[in-house]
Amino acid sequence: MTVRRRLTLSLLITLTLIAVLTAFGPAERTLGANLRLVLLHGAWVWSGKLLFAAAGLCGLAAILSPARWVDWSRALGWSGLLFWLTYLPMSLLVQWQNWGGIFWDEPRWRIPFTFGVVGVLLQSGLLVLDQPRLTGFANAAFGLALWLALGGAENILHPDSPVAQSGSFAIRLTFGLLLGLALLSGAQLSLLLKRSVHKAA
């Protein structure tokens, strides 16, 4: 079995574990079984943020040493974007299930959506331009801007750190496991993308 196939198989196994853990996760008195998707949604967005941060750090390194780090910055940036684009519809579903509708002006939706659109345009443009140092700088700037924007976003309907405020060990444990598995899948996806970029080069 080739390395690519092993990576693909391991990614599929990780995604299966995420699905099983979500399906059998804890329920809660207020949200009921809807909590399971809320926990996955939280783990998914944090994974996207951390992947963008990693892409930015590799991007800074790529400014100084592009040959060594730009492929990592690209792969992590695309992985973060894939997480982000799948998180957005998940966010709408969570709103619908728990708020009874979609609040389009919620900052925790509006800001991520804006960065999703910008991220698609940015990564597509960087792919076409194929300038390693520019890619590194752009990924670093994008990651920083995203973290700053979300860090300063106000909450209207969105709760503030619901997992951190929960007194349930089962909820915290499930979220921690989901976050760990989501990050693992992000690392596996990044390795696959890096190998693809390297082969194409």
Residue with tokens 């574990």: 17
> First and final CA of the chain: distance in angstroms?
23
Crossing angle, helix 35-64 and helix 169-200, to 10 degrees? 40
Sequence-distant (≥ 6) Cβ neighbours of residue 46 within 8 angstroms: 179, 182
CA separation for the pair 26, 24 (Å, rounded) = 7
Per-residue pLDDT, 196: 81
Q: How much is the pLDDT for 100?
A: 78
Predicted confidence at residue 29, as pLDDT, reads: 76
pLDDT tens for the chain, 201 residues long, are 788 899 999 999 999 999 999 999 998 877 788 888 999 999 999 999 999 999 999 999 999 999 999 999 999 999 999 999 999 999 999 888 877 778 788 888 899 999 999 999 999 999 999 999 999 999 999 999 999 999 887 766 666 666 766 778 888 999 999 999 999 999 999 999 998 865 544
Dihedral of the alpha carbons of 157, 36, 22, 110, in degrees to the nearest 10: -10
Token pair recorded at residue 145:
């801007």
Whether the CB-CB separation of 60 and 74 falls below 8 Å is answered with no
pLDDT of residue 159: 65
**What is the Cα–Cα distance from 131 to 174, expressed in whole angstroms?**
41
- pLDDT on residue 49: 97
Distance of alpha carbon 48 from alpha carbon 28, whole angstroms: 26
Q: What is the pTM assigned to this prediction?
A: 0.93
Answer yes or no: are the C-beta atoms of 85 and 146 closer than 8 Å. Answer: no
What tokens appear for 47 in the block? 């994974």
Give the model's pLDDT for residue 152.
80
Percent of the chain as helix, strand, coil, to the nearest 5: 80, 0, 15
Which pLDDT belongs to residue 169? 85
Cα–Cα distance, 191 to 181 (Å, whole number):
15
Please check whether residue 135 is in contact with residue 65, taking contact to mean a CB–CB distance below 8 angstroms: no
Which pLDDT score is estimated for 195?
Answer: 86
Measured in degrees and rounded to the nearest 5, phi and psi for residue 167 equal -95, 5
* In the block, residue with structure tokens 């196994």: 13
